[in-house]
Amino acid sequence: MIELKNIIKTYRQKDRLVTALNGVSLQVGKGKIFGVIGASGAGKSTLIRCVNLLEKPTSGSVMVDGQDLLQLSASQLAQARRQIGMIFQHFNLLSSRTVFDNIALPLELSNTPKPEIKTRVLDLLTLVGLPEKQHDYPSSLSGGQKQRVAIARTLASNPKVLLCDEATSALDPETTGSILKLLKDINQRLNITILLITHEMNVVKSICDEVGVISNGQLIEQGTVADIFSHPKTELTQKFIASSLEIELPDDFKQRLSEASDSGKHPLIKLEISGRSTDVPVLSEIARVFGIDYNIVSARMEYAGGVKFGIMLIEVHSTGEQTKKVLTFFEDKFIKTQIIGYV
């Protein structure tokens, strides 16, 4: 549905050229959700804006639903853009129009008859869960409600593709969750292809089928969410994954933690479980095979793209030689280990 080939985009900043995108290629299949994740300034906004030619690439090609957008005339491009909806971090609603009239706007612009507009807007309001807000103005809505209106407005034109430019970045975690659920629902019910950009791995984890990691204007890694979470190749990707899995060491342990394995102290081991890790009950196995007790101090396990991954901190009641054996045992099961200290 979307195919970008070797996109280069340079901007002139005063007397120098800045390369915002440096040879980006990606494909998004029909009905898929593709997330592009990257830090600030990596080129995410430029990338998503190149898909509907809000930014014109310096070179490369942009195909959407089989059409080469850079080859279209102005009127053909306007037509093609109707198939490409977009939602933004700050919603971009018209404050002087009611919710109903905001959603009706694209239909009015395409000369849809009034009775048809009414039915369509009411259907869309139901779809996004806001039927009772039709007469309200945007200023009286919460951030999540505003984004729902923006989603309804963009769906009014029946797009095949939806571009989401940091659509949940201005929202609290709970509202983010509900908007992501709505996007997934729209994707599944209407078979709309979604390309989104974000700086949060949680967004990718919760709704994307595929993910690309962008850094300095280049896609340094891309693949299915399951693949990327199980075999992250670059340090940046590993950092993004870890950032979605932060676990805290309880204060009591922080105070008791020492760097040396003094007598009577036990190693505190961090386990990183990824899609590559063997799915066996490793903890009961170390107890059974080595006769070693353990205590789970903190743990976070999650699923993304059908793959289980997570982080666990365990206090293992082992001595020097036993500890080495336990570490080797975990590593053999493709579980990454690190001794955080001794408690």
Ligand X SMILES: Nc1ncnc2c1ncn2[C@@H]1O[C@H](COP(=O)(O)OP(=O)(O)OP(=O)(O)O)[C@@H](O)[C@H]1O
> Between residues 58 and 67, which has the closer beta carbon with respect to ligand X?
58
Distance of closest approach, residue 211 Cβ to ligand X, in angstroms? 15
Integer CA distances (angstroms), 85 to 76, 154, 307, in order: 16, 5, 31
Q: Which stretch binds ligand X (CB under 6 A): 35-43, 239-247, 277-285, 292-300?
A: 35-43
Q: How far is the CB of 322 from ligand X (least distance, A)?
A: 47
- The SS3 of residue 60 is strand
Taking the complex as a whole, the smallest distance from the CB of residue 225 to ligand X amounts, in Å, to 20
Contacts of 95 (CB under 8 A, 6+ apart): 137, 138, 139
For the sheet containing 161-165, what is the strand order?
Answer: 84-88, 161-165, 193-198, 33-38, 210-215, 218-224
Residue 41, interface with ligand X (CB under 6 A)? Answer: yes
Q: Pick from 1, 2, 7, 20: which binds ligand X (CB under 6 A)?
A: 20
SS3 (DSSP) at 133: helix
Interface with ligand X (CB under 6 A), residue total: 13
Q: Which is nearer to ligand X, 166 or 210 (CB)?
A: 166
For residue 43, state whether it binds ligand X (rule: CB under 6 A): yes
* Residue closest to 85 by CA, chosen among 6, 140, 167: 167
Helix axes 143-155, 99-109, angle to 10 degrees: 20
Bridge-based pairing of strands 210-215 and 33-38 is parallel
Q: Which is nearer to ligand X, 46 or 274 (CB)?
A: 46
Q: Quick one: 189 exposed, middle or buried, by C-beta within 10 A (0-12, 13-18, 19+)?
A: exposed
Q: What is the DSSP string of 68-85?
A: EGGGS-HHHHHHHHTTEE
CA angle 113, 122, 33 (to 5 degrees): 105
Q: Which of 35, 38, 57, 267 binds ligand X (CB under 6 A)?
A: 38
Confirm or reject binding of residue 35 to ligand X (CB under 6 A): no
Considering only residues 150 through 209, tell me which ones interact with ligand X, judged by CB under 6 A.
199
Determine if 45 is a binding residue for ligand X (CB under 6 A). yes
Nearer to ligand X, 103 or 208 (CB): 208
State yes or no: residue 40 binds ligand X (CB under 6 A): yes
- Residue whose CB is less far from ligand X, 41 or 250: 41
38 vs 223, beta carbon nearer ligand X: 38
Which region, judged by CB under 6 A, interacts with ligand X, from 43-51, 176-184, 225-233, 241-249? 43-51
13 near ligand X, judged by CB under 6 A: yes
> Closest CB to ligand X among 140 and 234?
234
Single-letter amino acid code for the residue at 106? P
Q: Give me the phi and psi of 73, to 5 degrees please.
A: -75, 170
Q: Which stretch binds ligand X (CB under 6 A): 33-41, 79-87, 251-259, 315-323?
A: 33-41
**Amino acid found at 204:** V
Tell me: does residue 139 bind ligand X (CB under 6 A): no
- Strand extents, DSSP E, the chain: 2-13, 16-28, 33-38, 59-64, 67-68, 84-88, 161-165, 193-198, 210-215, 218-224, 267-273, 294-304, 307-316, 336-342
Nearer to ligand X among residue 216 and residue 238 (C-beta): 216
Residue selected from 4, 24, 33, 44 as contacting ligand X according to rule CB under 6 A: 44
Instruction: Give residues in contact with ligand X (CB under 6 A).
Output: 11, 13, 18, 20, 38, 40-46, 199
